[in-house]
Amino acid sequence: MTRIPWKCPNCGDGMTAYLAEKPYVLRCARGHSFDIAKQGYVNLLLPQKRGSTPPGDDANMVRARTAFLDGGYYKAFSDGVNRLVADALRENASAPCVIADAGCGEGYYTHNLVSYLREGGTDAVCAGFDLSKDAVSHGAKRAKASGNAESLSFAVASLFEMPLADGSCDGIINLFAPTADDEFARILKPDGFLVLAVPAERHLWGLKCAVYDTPYENEVRRDVLPHFTLKEVRQIRETVTVCGNDHIKALFAMTPYFWKTSVSDRQKLDTLEQLTTEIAFDLLLYGKN
């Protein structure tokens, strides 16, 4: 918490972490104060904004997502994110590097990234933001348990209004979450970068074949972001075998087409204990204009 360039969501001033007395707080010079929960995260979504934003994943959804991700099926993708961020940092490093994870979910990728950078000797701090309190709470607990809490902080906040100072970040990762061109440009340093992940045509083809009579390939997103220039695309392609019905269903629940699928199609997964499928992601590296 101490090394993140926090911005007060009330007045926009900088905030300092006070960790000498409980409750731990983040506070700005004007006295706006935010308690740090015992799990280690801070809720920076102002009460007047809470009603107008969706709550995000609940505890059960977070648990299912964590169980799937901890199964290691997306490790190749996580490794790809780590390598791309490390390479981008090498080009314009200024220690300590500050990375934001916009829409971090339960923090699987953020956590792996911080561990990877630390093992590589890079002095980096990372802050994950998500609307789901249960998701960031999980991320913060894991950071504490693994000894990463010094370098990894989590807050409930909208990625369209991140509680970070202008021009304070070296990089942003934005994985399968909404993209906020203006806000990303605001928090990045002039030579900052953005890593965006998009599913490629054949992502989860095996899963689609198990559910649909006539599966379609994904349309591939290539966002044109007015404040950014696309610099590099890295492809992650793998075949994985997902074991156990819980993991298969958790994977399906993570897909955007889960809610659009009929009950009868969904039920086709009920008796499946093993599923082999392609995973196919494109990692897009953008530089700030």
Ligand X SMILES: C[S@@+](CC[C@H](N)C(=O)[O-])C[C@H]1O[C@@H](n2cnc3c(N)ncnc32)[C@H](O)[C@@H]1O
Binding site for Zn ion (CB under 5 A): 8, 10-11, 13, 28, 30, 32
In angstroms, what CA-CA distances link 118 with 4, 63, 220?
Answer: 16, 26, 33
In angstroms, what is the minimal distance from the CB of 167 to ligand X? 21
Report the partner that residue 39 touches, choosing among ligand X, Zn ion, none (CB closer than 5 to 8 A by kind).
none
In angstroms, give the least distance from the CB of 45 to ligand X.
Answer: 9
Q: Does 135 bind ligand X (CB under 6 A)?
A: yes
String of DSSP letters for 132-155 = -HHHHHHHHHHHHHTT-TTTEEEE
Q: CB-wise, 16 or 239, nearer to Zn ion? A: 16
Cβ-closest position to ligand X: 105
- Judged by beta carbon distances under 5 to 8 A according to partner kind, the member of Zn ion, ligand X, none in contact with residue 8 is Zn ion
Torsion of Cα atoms, 81 then 17 then 13 then 192, to 10°: -20
The runs of H, that is alpha helices, within the chain are 47-50, 59-70, 75-91, 108-119, 133-145, 181-187, 205-211, 245-254, 263-266
Q: What DSSP string runs through 83-96?
A: HHHHHHHHHT--SS
According to the binding rule CB under 6 A, does residue 143 interact with ligand X? no
Judged by CB under 6 A, does residue 156 bind ligand X? no
- In this structure, the dihedral spanned by the alpha carbons of residues 257, 259, 262 and 268, taken in order and rounded to 10 degrees, is 70
Largest CA distance in the chain: 60
Question: How many residues make contact with ligand X (CB under 6 A)?
Answer: 19
Q: How far is the CB of 265 from Zn ion (least distance, A)?
A: 50
- What are the backbone dihedrals phi and psi of residue 56, each rounded to the nearest 5 degrees, phi first? 80, -175
Structure letter (DSSP) for residue 218:
P
Question: Which of these segments, 88-96, 104-112, 141-149, 240-248, binds ligand X (CB under 6 A)?
Answer: 104-112
132 binds ligand X (CB under 6 A): yes
Interaction partner, residue 131 (Zn ion, ligand X, none; CB < 5-8 Å by kind): ligand X
Residues numbered 161-190 forming contacts with ligand X, rule: CB under 6 A: 175-178
Distance in angstroms (rounded) separating the CA atoms of residues 170 and 94: 8
| Residue 104 contacts which entry, Zn ion, ligand X, none (Cβ below 5-8 A, type-dependent) | ligand X
Distance CA 176, CA 83 (A): 18
Q: Which range touches ligand X (CB under 6 A), out of 86-94, 115-123, 153-161, 242-250?
A: 153-161
User: Which residues make up the interface to ligand X (CB under 6 A)?
Assistant: 56-57, 103-105, 108-109, 129-132, 135, 158-160, 175-178
